[in-house]
Amino acid sequence: MVYQWDAFDPSSPNYQKARPWVAAANGPETFFETSIGTSNSVMIDGASDKGYFKLGYTLNTDKGYLPNSNVDKNIINFGAGFDVTDKLKFFSSVNYTATDGKGRYGTGYESRNQMTSFRQWWQMNVDIQEQREAYERTRQNVTWNWADPTDLVPIYWDNVYWTRFENFQTDSRNRYFGYAGLSYDLAPWLNILGRVSLDQYDEIQEERFAVGSIDPSQYQRYNRNYRELNYDLMATIPQRNLTDAIKFDALIGTNIRKTDVSSIRASTNGGLVVPRLYALSNTLNTLSPPTETYNRLQVNGYFAKVGFVYNNWAVLDLTMRRDQASSLPKENNSYYYPSASLGLILSEFMSDNGFISFAKARVNYAEVGNTAPPLSIADVYNLGTAFDDATIASLATTKNNSNLKPERTTSLEAGLELRFARDRFGVDVTVYKQNTKDQILPATVSRATGYNSVFINAGDVENKGVEVQFFARPVVTRDFNWRIGVNWGLNRNKVLDLGGIDNLQLGTAQGGFSVNAALGEPYGTIRGTNFTYLNGQKVVNAAGYYQNSPTSNEIIGNVNPDWIGGITNSLTFKNITLGFLVDVKKGGDVFSLDLYYGLATGLYEETAGLNDLGNEVRASLADGGGLILPGVKADGTPNDIRYDATNFGIYGYRRNPAAGFVYDAGFVKLREVNLTWDIPSRILGDGRIFKGIALGVYGRNLWIIHKNLPHSDPEEGYGAGNFQGHQGGAYPTARTIGFNLNLKF
């Protein structure tokens, strides 16, 4: 019998009572609620011989699977056009979206991400529903993790319901997207089009730490304004016959893109004075200056395209574009990039009754130029919060680069599409090679340079691979149809040149783990400490645990999968369609921070059970507990040292290299199943209001058929952007069941 957390909560029925030390009836899995989403929309439209309009409204609501989380969206779409004359046409569109979010899920390694608690530091005796009741009873932070019997405050973790209902975030965003333009037929063979489009949003994100949390109480607000304006002017020659055999079309135009992004972030300093009041003025100490950013980018583009079609079996398109970007040094700020594509419909030369019903070969080459992020050329200083009378400034930790040149992606692709037996089955094979050259990025460098990172043009990263799509329609009858689709892709990448550096570090985490792109290696190799091996066996040291490699730059994994694939099946019987999708990822590695810590704290089943003697592994060595790790001693003889497992060490991060927490991230998943019924009009009857009704039910993420990463979905992770192959505080993947009702008036 043990005094557990509730023995110290005066409002609890278990106050001052000891209880059995057993696993909780309601574990963290009962923390998750059923998430409910709805989407309702109406649309009206109309047209006459002079114009058209459409007006739509959509309301989406989404209640998340964590308590106190929801996202609501109101969307209004409006579009209208009017033919001023036969030749001059006006068109426009306005879309407005208002999004309100609350309680979005915390990510990363922090107190508001409950998953880091549940997966790494949780106590298995804690009943999550009793935590909920404690919070609801008191509205106080009655944690399972008291600091001390004499000091009843949380020490490392808050009550998770306190976190959700007190330390929640909110956000709201108003987005306007629209365009207006004129189109004029200067001649039957020449159209001029001018268009201005605007994408603008303002958003606010607010974060809270209530008084009484483990983190100092705080209110933080972040306001951001985004505006992108596009001006387009283009002249088009619609497809026309040059000769009987050759058709031709062309386009020339200009595009000006202007992007302005500004933000301001401010937070209270030192705590809140009045509990539950979230305003900047409610600050314990004088506010520190807010952080402001203001980024502007303009790209002036000119482009042209010509297309030729020869006898309906050869199609050739050629394009060229020149961009000039404000974010590059003046002498390097304009760049050209062409593309060419050729398609040959080979089946034109085959007999109509042959086995091959369609054959097309294609090859294309494209370059895409890109500019630098704004403000990456000239160095600046950052001003900080004053120290009494002293102004504080520091040099920016990223070294900018006044010699940047544009980056460029070149891709060469060839494909063959074949359909057989009157399109009963077919295959589409593509091979490609893509090189990203002079990629502009802040490369992490030795801090002995005085910088975290320096902006560089990073050489050449090559991706090449094969994609295969296959389909078959094994059954085609009037009432029953069956379609199978298979796709399969294989990609290999390699770092060929890094513009003067030898390793691009993509991300790092605890324990010396890092993801890298080093010269001659794949983009995304995992490095860290490794086991040491003798004749293929892991070596244990004199104490009986695994001997770690002395350095943390051993290659211990590769985030890139061997291949990915998917199978879709669609079965249609009369008006009813059943579809399902199975997704497969073969290989690719992930480092699990959850297991790194969670195996150490002992919350996973792998850390309990019986040892080779049939005793509780967690019993003391004297009582026959402990563990002999598989491996050999330094002299090559089998390990016979029994290591004590009464405390943490043998399983988790402390005594094991990072390599011990690298897992195969491959999976086989039943990704989606859907069933749709188009209600036939004869059932709707003659006096019907609706032109059509469709009823659907679907399920997503229904079943992980196979995986090698224990306890979590290998696709989860807080790796963002380039930093893949790293999972910590992983959320469970939600299984979604949905219903669709479409009414057509």
Residues 119-158 interacting with other proteins (rule: CB under 8 A): 147-151, 153-156
Q: How far is the CB of 157 from other proteins (least distance, A)?
A: 11
By CB under 8 A, residue 525 contacts other proteins: no
User: Is the CB of 343 or the CB of 499 nearer to other proteins?
Assistant: 499
Candidates 30, 285, 311, 620: give the one binding other proteins (CB under 8 A): 285
Q: Are 723 and 506 in contact (CB under 8 A)?
A: yes
Distance separating alpha carbons of residues 696 and 520, to the nearest angstrom = 50
Q: How far is the CB of 330 from other proteins (least distance, A)?
A: 6
User: Is the CB of 275 or the CB of 738 nearer to other proteins?
Assistant: 275
Which contacts qualify for 595-598: CB closer than 8 Å, 24 or more apart?
595/652, 595/661, 595/663, 595/710, 595/711, 596/510, 596/511, 596/652, 596/653, 596/658, 596/661, 597/119, 597/120, 597/121, 597/652, 597/653, 598/119, 598/120, 598/121, 598/652, 598/711
By CB under 8 A, residue 189 contacts other proteins: no
Name the burial class of residue 712, with classes exposed (0-12), middle (13-18) and buried (19+) by CB atoms within 10 angstroms of its CB. buried
Distance separating alpha carbons of residues 505 and 519, to the nearest angstrom = 11
User: Is the CB of 211 or the CB of 490 nearer to other proteins?
Assistant: 211
By CB under 8 A, residue 550 contacts other proteins: yes
By CB under 8 A, residue 402 contacts other proteins: no
Give how far Cα 29 sits from Cα of 25, 34, 114, 601, Å: 11, 12, 12, 19
**Burial track 293-304 (b if 16+ CB lie within 10 A, e otherwise):** eeeebbbbbbbb
State which of positions 446-475 bind other proteins (CB under 8 A). 446-452, 454
Q: How far is the CB of 596 from other proteins (least distance, A)?
A: 9
**Burial track 311-345 (b if 16+ CB lie within 10 A, e otherwise):** eeeebebebbbebbbbbbeeebbbbebebebbbbb
User: Is the CB of 444 or the CB of 532 nearer to other proteins?
Assistant: 444
- Residue 457: how many other CB atoms lie within 10 Å: 23
Pairing mode of beta strands 589-592, 554-558: unpaired
User: Is the CB of 281 or the CB of 385 nearer to other proteins?
Assistant: 385
Q: How far is the CB of 718 from other proteins (least distance, A)?
A: 18
Q: Which residues contact 96 (CB under 8 A, 6 or more apart)?
A: 75, 76, 174, 175, 176, 177
By CB under 8 A, residue 588 contacts other proteins: no
Distance separating alpha carbons of residues 320 and 307, to the nearest angstrom = 12
Supply the DSSP string of 422-464, one letter for each residue: TTTEEEEEEEEEEEEEEEEEEEE--GGGS-SEEEEEEEEEEEE
Query: Using CB under 8 A, which of the segments 240-248, 251-259, 311-319, 568-576 binds other proteins?
Result: 251-259
Give the dihedral sign, CA 650/654/660/662.
positive
By CB under 8 A, residue 292 contacts other proteins: yes
Q: How far is the CB of 213 from other proteins (least distance, A)?
A: 9
Candidates 94, 198, 256, 418: give the one binding other proteins (CB under 8 A): 256
Query: Using CB under 8 A, which of the segments 273-281, 309-317, 438-446, 661-669 binds other proteins?
Result: 438-446
Candidates 13, 275, 474, 500: give the one binding other proteins (CB under 8 A): 500
User: Is the CB of 546 or the CB of 563 nearer to other proteins?
Assistant: 546
Q: Which two structure tokens, joined as six digits, stand for 519?
A: 């010269």
Q: Give, for 284, the enclosing helix (H) or strand (E).
A: strand 283-285
User: Is the CB of 271 or the CB of 565 nearer to other proteins?
Assistant: 271
State which of positions 40-99 bind other proteins (CB under 8 A). none
By CB under 8 A, residue 527 contacts other proteins: yes
User: Is the CB of 457 or the CB of 572 nearer to other proteins?
Assistant: 457
Query: Using CB under 8 A, which of the segments 50-58, 161-169, 346-354, 391-399 binds other proteins?
Result: 391-399
Name the burial class of residue 569, with classes exposed (0-12), middle (13-18) and buried (19+) by CB atoms within 10 angstroms of its CB. middle
By CB under 8 A, residue 330 contacts other proteins: yes
Give the count of residues interacting with other proteins (CB under 8 A): 95
Candidates 236, 493, 503, 558: give the one binding other proteins (CB under 8 A): 503
Candidates 128, 297, 517, 650: give the one binding other proteins (CB under 8 A): 297
First-to-final CA distance of the chain: 67
By CB under 8 A, residue 394 contacts other proteins: yes
Distance separating alpha carbons of residues 131 and 233, to the nearest angstrom = 62
Q: Are 361 and 342 in contact (CB under 8 A)?
A: no
Give the dihedral sign, CA 651/654/659/661.
positive
Candidates 29, 244, 352, 389: give the one binding other proteins (CB under 8 A): 389
Q: How far is the CB of 85 from other proteins (least distance, A)?
A: 9
Candidates 24, 126, 160, 445: give the one binding other proteins (CB under 8 A): 445
State which of positions 600-659 bind other proteins (CB under 8 A). 644, 653-654
Candidates 70, 254, 676, 742: give the one binding other proteins (CB under 8 A): 254
In DSSP terms, 341 is beta-bridged to 317, 364
In DSSP terms, 202 is beta-bridged to 174, 225
Query: Using CB under 8 A, which of the segments 242-250, 381-389, 473-481, 728-736 binds other proteins?
Result: 381-389
By CB under 8 A, residue 183 contacts other proteins: no
Distance separating alpha carbons of residues 510 and 526, to the nearest angstrom = 13
User: Is the CB of 216 or the CB of 630 nearer to other proteins?
Assistant: 216
Candidates 553, 569, 615, 701: give the one binding other proteins (CB under 8 A): 553
User: Is the CB of 12 or the CB of 283 nearer to other proteins?
Assistant: 283
Candidates 186, 242, 421, 705: give the one binding other proteins (CB under 8 A): 186
Give the dihedral sign, CA 270/275/278/281.
negative
Distance separating alpha carbons of residues 355 and 423, to the nearest angstrom = 10
User: Is the CB of 66 or the CB of 650 nearer to other proteins?
Assistant: 650
Candidates 80, 233, 252, 306: give the one binding other proteins (CB under 8 A): 233
Candidates 10, 387, 640, 721: give the one binding other proteins (CB under 8 A): 387
Q: Which residues contact 388 (CB under 8 A, 6 or more apart)?
A: none
By CB under 8 A, residue 384 contacts other proteins: yes
Which contacts qualify for 580-583: CB closer than 8 Å, 24 or more apart?
580/670, 580/672, 580/673, 580/674, 581/670, 581/671, 581/672, 581/673, 582/668, 582/669, 582/670, 582/671, 582/705, 583/667, 583/668, 583/669, 583/671
User: Is the CB of 70 or the CB of 402 nearer to other proteins?
Assistant: 402
Distance separating alpha carbons of residues 484 and 633, to the nearest angstrom = 54
Query: Using CB under 8 A, which of the segments 186-194, 360-368, 687-695, 714-722 binds other proteins?
Result: 186-194
User: Is the CB of 54 or the CB of 258 nearer to other proteins?
Assistant: 258
User: Is the CB of 353 or the CB of 391 nearer to other proteins?
Assistant: 391
Query: Using CB under 8 A, which of the segments 31-39, 341-349, 535-543, 576-584 binds other proteins?
Result: 535-543
Q: How far is the CB of 287 from other proteins (least distance, A)?
A: 10
Candidates 159, 205, 516, 530: give the one binding other proteins (CB under 8 A): 516
User: Is the CB of 11 or the CB of 449 nearer to other proteins?
Assistant: 449
- 325 closest CA partner among 367, 399, 376: 376
Q: How far is the CB of 680 from other proteins (least distance, A)?
A: 51
By CB under 8 A, residue 214 contacts other proteins: yes
User: Is the CB of 53 or the CB of 179 nearer to other proteins?
Assistant: 179
